[in-house]
Structure 1
Amino acid sequence: MAATPRSDTRGIVDASGLMSRVCFRRHLPAEPLRPYLEHYWLIDWDLPEPYATHVVPHPSVNVVFQRYGDREPLGEVAGIGLDLFSKKLEGRGRVCGVQFRPGGFRPFTPERPVADWTGLRLPLEDVFADAGAPGTLDKAPEAVLGPDDEHARVAALDAFLLRLGPDPDPQADLAMALVDRIRTDRTIRRVSAFARAEGLSVRALQRLFASYVGVGPKWIILRYRIHEALQRAESERAESEQAVDWAALAADLGYADQAHLVRDFTATVGVPPTAYARG
């Protein structure tokens, strides 16, 4: 497990624009939670004019606590987003989020397959109905968002999640390991070959991912390709970087040709990669 939280901006569209407008930090959770979580992410902003942020979601469930202006704080579970996520930030606000590892959310809600939450954003009580003492879920948003000290917010997130479990599950461990393999190994391009290499049938792999991850292995392979292409396009926007060789990147990511990469990137992000790189 990592000793520090991830520092990349994979998935964030116009990452430099967002980071120049908000205070964005990541923190590791308490030790017992680290097998299941990527990190906590904290954002604060005070903007003179609105800014629209866009994210190509990871194959991760998030628990999100948020406060916008003087509105009441709220908490929700965000299942894996299948489409580009967009949010307009304006005035003052604060968000404290929990990004679970792909496959790491099921131990906190063992009675339901993770695919049940995919594409949905639900109030905490709709997902954790039987968790904790009465009133725990109602009090959680203020407990997390109230402190100005970010370490106190992290401690509140730890306390909230430790009250929920998790229940150890070898199948969750397997799902997390398989997704990590897809994320780090660019040679994994076909679900059938991946399943065979792992000693599973394609159907068994798909069932595991539906129950514990929330999306299929083919979707994850494609999503990580887009994350890589987005990060390379983001780097090209910096004057010090050389232009991306999109044909070479397409081949490196396992596409048949550059046109297929352009098609998937445009469908996900909304503009072709070369246009995005030009800003």
Structure 2
Amino acid sequence: MSTPSDLSGRGPLFPAELPVDFTRVPAGPKDSDLVMWWWFSTWALPPGRHSAQELLAFPASNLAFESDGVRYWGPTTRRSTRRLVGDGWVLGALLRPAAVPAFTQQPAACRDDSVPVSAADVHAAVQTSVHDLTAVLGEVETWLSNRVGTITDEARQANHLADLVIADSSITTVSNLAGALGVSTRTVNRLTTKYVGLSPYAMIRRRRLQEAVQWIRGQVPSSGVTL
């Protein structure tokens, strides 16, 4: 299985061309079952200029704190582009499946879309300390942990499923995934419906597309990216 460091080049399609500062921070002990990592992005563009941020996102959902509020973003089904203008910032979390039911009971309904999250107090704290991640992440992690509550065995199984899909290049079919989990393909489909919002096949294909992008950049061996 790949290590977490092998994932660092995935997400933005052209990271070297982005006029932004982008940082990933590992999940802390309070939210290691809920977040793959936190990410923080800032940008400052001159008047009249913009930048198109192109992404091939992970097969997962994100939680995003921005200046105008907090939103839960469901999984994407295609390459996406975000247009950046002026000054801005985002503090986000790449969510693990166990966190998803705290924001939606139907993650498929949020594909390529977002819904607002009511979190006025923690949003105010982020705005106050937005450029000091050390100061703000502890409070945000506590808020997220309290919102999710007790993590069930089923939710942990969904986390394991996502870990395998995202990092294990040997898994190329839904049957491979079911075998690695020790469950039926029916159970795999049930878990991804409830906790991800994408089919297991779509999740696997997204990882393979990300690997192909990394291979083009010369970051991974070619043996893992045959499509």
* Range of TM-score over shorter length: 0.7 to 0.9
* 2:72 corresponds to 1:89: no
1:46 partner letter:
A
Deviation string, structure 1 residues 213-272 (Cα, Å, up to 9, x no partner): 221110111000111111222348xxxxxxx9xxx93x64343xxxxxxxxxxxxxxxxx
Q: 1:27 to 1:5 in 2, by over 3 A?
A: farther
**Counterpart for residue 174 of structure 2:** 191
Q: 1:253 to 1:62 in 2, by over 3 A?
A: same
Q: 1:118 aligns with which of 101, 111, 126?
A: 111
Task: Name the % identity.
Answer: 25
1:230-249 correspondence runs (5 A): 230-235=213-218, 249=222
Q: 1:26 to 1:204 in 2, by over 3 A?
A: same
Count matched residues. Answer: 221
CA distance in 1, matches of 2:182, 2:136: 43
The alpha-carbon deviation at position 193 of structure 1 amounts to 4.0
Q: 1:221 to 1:90 in 2, by over 3 A?
A: same
Q: What is the root-mean-square deviation of aligned Cα atoms in Å? A: 2.6
Where does the alignment leave 5 or more consecutive residues of structure 2 unmatched?
none
1:6-21 correspondence runs (5 A): 8-18=8-18, 21=19
* 2:148 corresponds to 1:204: no
The alpha-carbon deviation at position 74 of structure 1 amounts to 1.4
Where does the alignment leave 5 or more consecutive residues of structure 1 unmatched?
68-72, 126-136, 237-243, 256-279
The alpha-carbon deviation at position 52 of structure 1 amounts to 0.8
CA distance in 2, matches of 1:252, 1:27: 26
Tell me if the contact between 1:11 and 1:230 (Cα under 8 Å) persists in the aligned partners.
no
Tell me if the contact between 2:100 and 2:107 (Cα under 8 Å) persists in the aligned partners.
yes
1:143-222 correspondence runs (5 A): 143-147=125-129, 148-196=131-179, 198-222=181-205
TM-score (normalizing by structure 2): 0.85
**Counterpart for residue 140 of structure 1:** 122
The alpha-carbon deviation at position 79 of structure 1 amounts to 0.7
